[in-house]
Structure 1
Amino acid sequence: MNTRLTSLPVASRRTLLQTLAGGSVLLGGGLLWQRLALSAEEAVRIPAPALDLPAGGQAPQRAIFAGGCFWGVQGVYQHVKGVLRAVSGYSGGAATTASYEQVSRGNTGHAESVEVTFDPAQVSYGALLQIFFSVVHDPTQLNRQGPDTGTQYRSAIFATSPAQLKMAQAYVAQLDAAHVYPKPIVTRLEDRAGFYPAETYHQDFMTENPGNPYIAFNDLPKVENLRRLFPDRYRREPVLVKQSHS
């Protein structure tokens, strides 16, 4: 049984039930519970990177982000224009331990991650970073996000090129210098990490399970924050992993 289905604290579940009583509205292909933002973590308005990687006239590129449970990270990036594919998986450890059962123990070195394949002519790496630090998660929480704790839920960027690593380092320094958060950024910047796709039942989990309490409370508000803070980058219909295989 997936532990996330019953992982909400009692107080959180109570708040969720009060929120759900307010009704529901449609968002994309799923159900967004009305007034859910009242109990969700607030997104942070942050400046765009001062420097960005070149855009246009390039082949699709890859970026790997870890920001807590991969259901929400994947769900957000699936709604970003220019993202061609977003796959939940594991990064930071060995191929032999890249399974949900093993990673959940917290001792494999892996983080739940999402590999984002994107068209740099439509969305830049810098824009993906801005969404990561603003909407996807709280980069000041060490080894936890929401109800999930452990190094497998750490905030991390797995650079796929020296240019990505350099840019991520510069952006973290920029945000820290601007004091946009009340606490320091703890995001780990890692490179040379492999990426191993997660099990099929984890893919497109947000879209397929909008009524799941964990999704409704922790993740659907992130998609709404994306729409609200980045309207020019938001797309209503998500790009799904399973559709790309059909």
Structure 2
Amino acid sequence: MGAARTIRQGNLGKRALRLAEKDGKFYGLADGKVCVEGTDADRVWQQLHDESGKSDPKYFGYSGARSRFLKFFPNGFHSEGYAAQERDYKLAAKNKLDATAPLEMAITGSGYGEAILSAYRATNMLSPFEKTRLQDVFRGPSSDAVIRAAAEFTESADKNSLGRLEAALKPHDCAKWTVVTYLPYLWRPDRHMFLKPEVTKDYAARVGHPFASNYEARLNIDVYASLLDLVERTSRELSDLQPRDRIDIQSFIWVVGDYQEDRDGTYT
């Protein structure tokens, strides 16, 4: 195409993506070649990612993700097997957190260290190594500051609140996505998402979402925004399966990315 103004650019895996505008029309280019075009910049950019994602060897799209999930849980989110394997223990951890360290109290309160530590220990979503480090955090002098920062991020979910939470956790070498997203996910599973990096990156590559290339270990609010976009897209794609909250969406991602083909049986 002729001279055009670059609106946005980025990468998806090894592919260089570019959104350009010319004469009021938008063009999505992958490695210099026009793949999609249209009159809505955001839509063209999303379509460009969707089309480019299909070139990843892992790609099987949202339909493939759905088929894989239903192979293990044929009745979807509302089967007894699914609840027992993936949902009930996370919901129990949430209920325990709400009872012992409710969000509205934790954001300004003090003395919730043991309750918060217990919430982290209530699931297998963090590694034993991470849980050991958190024991020092929530039984130490900075416990209240960390908890308040986590509660503030749950309420605000912006760059400043993430920065304050990172600053509180960094001296303990706990400024990790798993630690940062765990409490917001349990406090507000309607709004937040737990980030287990490797399985989530793998899932994003399989459905062709830019989170696969947007992810970085550094606590960057743009990474979290990309994660939430992945969650919203997945929720829309699965609307007929009626996911109740992001506990269901996180479980879906885990099943698609982690369950093995030789897993014993399926669940009704």
Fold shared by both chains (TM-score > 0.5): no
* Greater relative CO, 1 or 2 (CA 8 Å, sep 6+): 1
Greater helix proportion: 2
Which of these two proteins has the greater Rg computed from alpha carbons? 2
Q: How does the TM-score come out when normalised to structure 2?
A: 0.28
Q: How does the TM-score come out when normalised to structure 1?
A: 0.30
Greater strand proportion: 1
